[in-house]
Structure 1
Amino acid sequence: MTDLWKTIDHPTVVWANDSENWLTKQIQPINQSLLVVDIAAAIRGSEQGSVGGIDGVYPLEIKLESDALRLRFYDFVAYSVTAEMFTQQGNQEASVGGWLRIFSKSFYLEFVERSTWATSGFPGDLIHYQINTLDHTIDVVTSNPPEILKSIQ
């Protein structure tokens, strides 16, 4: 359980959770055991447009000057990507964090525990990490804390 708290208190995680308007930049399963998720801070676009029938709005975009993070999940058990508008969290779930979140109890973690043969014996105690952006929710179940890096665009 100590790795769980070290990860949520990691200075980069604290900085990310205090920031605003993250967008998903890229999700790439590198191979059978590595998942890389890149997110970047959205910056207001320079040209107004129309969104959902509302005129005069500025789009949020990833630009070269956007702050960015890379999360590397080694030996993940499962991951899921959900369009942000369809994401929900139940009252029975328990988590800490904001944009980057760790669940101690979740429906997704229960699903993975019931639908796979992963156990605390192998690969180890499972942890549910969640990356929330303005456009997606990325859920990852693994027994290893992710490597978190501020990345260069």
Structure 2
Amino acid sequence: MQATIGDIDGCEDLYLEFAIEGGDHRLRLLITEAELTDKVTPLVIGGIDFAPRSIEHTADCRCFEVIWPSTIACSIRNESYCGQSRSEEFNGRHFGLYAKSHYLEFVSAATVATQDYPGPFKHWGIFTLNHVIDVVSTDEPTVRIVQPKEYSQLRRWSSTPS
């Protein structure tokens, strides 16, 4: 079933399940929606019981496959080491476009990519609970909802050791 960037952007929270970059510079992501559950994980610090609720992918949550047919550059960072810069301009909450970013500056300085070759390109950002994904491409991503049975198969395939 087709979906949109807006469908992902509107989720409460997200997890990155896997990312695969093909030899042809194709990028495929599996992103799962997550929500705050009633499940409590005991956490005692200094004698104080915080008992935080967990954020999980549940049966009511959606799974999204996001594909870029080709990329100029992509990066996946641990969100614990990422900060927001006031000089960057981002349109979106979890999944959106940058009008201005340090990553675009890096791609312009570190590659021969220009607006003439390979053509006008954009920087998409996806913010999940554990990862920040940066993608620079001339192509728009396609987004679709993955059905539960297919999600189980994809997840099992992606976690098989090589």
TM-score band, normalised by shorter chain: 0.7 to 0.9
Query: Is the 1:12–1:150 contact (alpha carbons within 8 Å) kept by the matching residues of 2?
Result: no
Report what 1:120 is aligned to. Answer: 115
User: 5 Å matches for 1:1-153?
Assistant: 12-44=4-36, 47-51=39-43, 53=45, 55-152=50-147, 153=151
- Kindly provide the amino acid, as one letter, of the partner of residue 83 in structure 1: N
Which consecutive residues of structure 1, in runs of 5 or more, have no partner in the other structure? 1-10
Q: Determine the C-alpha separation between the residues in 1 that align with 2:106 and 2:91.
A: 20
Instruction: Find the residue that maps to 2:5 and give its secondary structure.
Output: helix
Q: Deviations over 1:32-84 (max 9, x none)?
A: 32111111111446653235845533332234542111110121011111111
Seen in structure 2, the aligned counterparts of structure 1 residues 57 and 77 have a Cα distance that, compared at 3 Å, is same
Once structures 1 and 2 are overlaid, which stretch shifts more, 119-128 or 51-60? 51-60
Query: Is the 2:44–2:51 contact (alpha carbons within 8 Å) kept by the matching residues of 1?
Result: no
RMSD (CA atoms): 2.3
Which consecutive residues of structure 2, in runs of 5 or more, have no partner in the other structure? 152-162
Seen in structure 2, the aligned counterparts of structure 1 residues 114 and 52 have a Cα distance that, compared at 3 Å, is farther
Query: Is the 1:35–1:72 contact (alpha carbons within 8 Å) kept by the matching residues of 2?
Result: yes
> How many positions carry a matched residue from both structures?
144
Seen in structure 2, the aligned counterparts of structure 1 residues 44 and 105 have a Cα distance that, compared at 3 Å, is closer
- Kindly provide the amino acid, as one letter, of the partner of residue 24 in structure 1: L
- TM-score normalised by length of structure 1: 0.82
- TM-score normalised by length of structure 2: 0.77
